[in-house]
Amino acid sequence: MGFIYLDHQSGTPLHPKVQEAMIQHIQTIFGNPSSDHQVGQPAAVVLEKARAQTAALINANPPEIVFTSGGTEANNQAIKGVAIGLREKGRHIITSNIEHKSVLNSLRTLRLLDYRVTSLDVDQYGLVDPGAVEKAITPETILISIMLANNEIGTIEPIAKIAEIAKKHKIVMHTDAVAATGNIPVDVQELGVNLLSLAANQFYGPSGVGALYIRKGTPVWPLLDGGTQENKRRAGTENLIGIVGLGQAAELAKEAIPARQARLRALKERLEQGIKARIPEIHINGHPTLNLPHLLSVSVEYIEGESLMLMLDDEGIVVATRSACASGSLRASHVLIGTGMDFATAQGTLVFTLGEENTDAEIDRVLEVMPGIVQTLRDMSPLYKKSGH
């Protein structure tokens, strides 16, 4: 490969074994799992195998797994599904200010339908305070949705504690674990959540497929209406090719996580210390210890992230930026602003997400190239001189 890929959060490359499983599936099976004949039945077997593999990754029971088209659908399904399922009980939902857009915009839709939403502030590290969650609870509260790990700054939230509070008050607890699953151990029994979202493209599986864990007895109304697939929770013929990929990736991830975690954390440490030593006036975002092992968010003062990202891209280094200019909606990142960062600093934010195939040599290459690029852009920036350089 002619580039250094440090944007695994946008999608990981397919693991060769996942690729193999998917190709083998395409070549041998085309049946519909819902058909009770000799063509359909092998497909049903494959589907249930993938369900068991996915369940094992998060320590769930296979019937509690509903396959979706990815993390976004899983979050939509969880939130809107509970809102509909419990509409006679109450119309109040608690969340945080730094959730993924698929959570925030699901709640936007529910607001239009007269649900009330309390969105909690986070501290400078992006942590949600469980005490604040408990205070926000009303007799009308039906759902709490807080992410397990933040996808922009990597902070890991105290989900087990919050889930305990939810349980005490008999409120459904959902966690968006898309950024976490496959990168750190995720165990639904330890977390104590009712609902958990995950996506295959975060752990070397294909894009366009994910799952929602629905603890037995959780009142989730379907979002897609139709047939009785997925235990009547998600109608439509299954994306079996993708699901096979998810299952295989989940099985590989379960085995790989302990070693992967340690290796990626060491690589990240190398990157973080190297950047700190070579580039003055930067901020490392997120919690110093409670964070994802593979994600490093850095804000570089006085410059804008899209130009930084493009210049690195030109050097063969592929990263993501959280600058408003690159966001499509041209708005500052709600996560960074949510942690209290000022707008100008948020503009210069890069997110590195490391993966299996990255090496020390690749990190060293970034450290060699990045300081010069930062200086070029700073020399071009009116803010740099104004602040006394």
Binding-site ranges for other proteins (CB under 8 A): 10, 101, 105, 108, 111-112, 302-304, 306-307, 310-311, 314, 323-332, 337, 343-344, 347, 379-383, 385
For 212, the 3-state DSSP assignment is strand
For other proteins, the closer of residues 82 and 332 by Cβ is: 332
Which among 178, 151, 146, 180 is positioned nearest to 162, based on CA atoms? 146
Nearer to other proteins, 27 or 329 (CB): 329
8 A C-beta contact, residue 75 and residue 106 = yes
- Give the phi and the psi of residue 119 in degrees, each rounded to 5: -110, 115
Based on CB atoms, which residue is closest to other proteins, 152 or 238?
A: 152
Query: Which of 234, 322 has the CB closer to other proteins?
Result: 322
- The single-letter code of the amino acid at 3 is F
**Is the Cα dihedral 345, 104, 144, 9 positive or negative?**
negative
Dihedral over alpha carbons 209, 213, 216, 221 (to 10 degrees): -60
92, 142 Cβ separation under 8 angstroms: yes
* 264/292 Cα distance (integer angstroms): 10
Q: How far is the CB of 324 from other proteins (least distance, A)?
A: 4
β-pair type (210-214, 141-145): unpaired
- Chain-centre distance for alpha carbon 348: 22
Nearest to 131, CA basis, from 158, 104, 109: 158
Q: How far is the CB of 1 from other proteins (least distance, A)?
A: 21
Nearer to other proteins, 119 or 261 (CB): 119
Please tell me the distance from the alpha carbon of residue 286 to that of residue 133, in angstroms, as a whole number: 20
Closest contact distance (angstroms) between CB of 308 and other proteins is: 10
Residue 381 CB, nearest distance to other proteins (Å)?
4
User: Which residue is it, tokens 């074994």?
Assistant: 17
Give the helix, strand, coil percentages of the chain, each rounded to 5: 45, 15, 40
Residue 19: CB minimum distance to other proteins, A: 24
Q: Could you tell me the smallest distance in angstroms from the CB atom of residue 139 to other proteins? A: 27
| Three-class secondary structure of residue 124 per DSSP | coil
Smallest distance, other proteins to C-beta of residue 192, A: 32
* 1 annotated active-site: no
341: left (phi over 0), alpha (psi -120 to 50) or beta: beta
Count CA within 13 A, CB hemisphere, residue 381. Answer: 24
Cβ proximity to other proteins, 1 vs 112, nearer residue:
112
- C-alpha to C-alpha distance for 109 and 106, rounded to whole angstroms: 5
Q: List 172's β-bridge partners, or say none.
A: 143
Task: State the nearest-atom distance from the C-beta of 106 to other proteins, in Å.
Answer: 12
**Residues in contact with 12: Cβ distance below 8 Å, sequence separation at least 6, in sequence order:** 201, 202, 203, 204, 205, 355, 356
**Among residues 64 and 304, whose Cβ is nearest to other proteins?**
304
From the candidates 266, 325, 367, 369, which is the catalytic residue? 325
- Kindly tell me which of 238 and 301 has the beta carbon lying closer to other proteins: 301
Sole residue written with tokens 């490392």: 284
Catalytic residue numbers, as ranges? 325
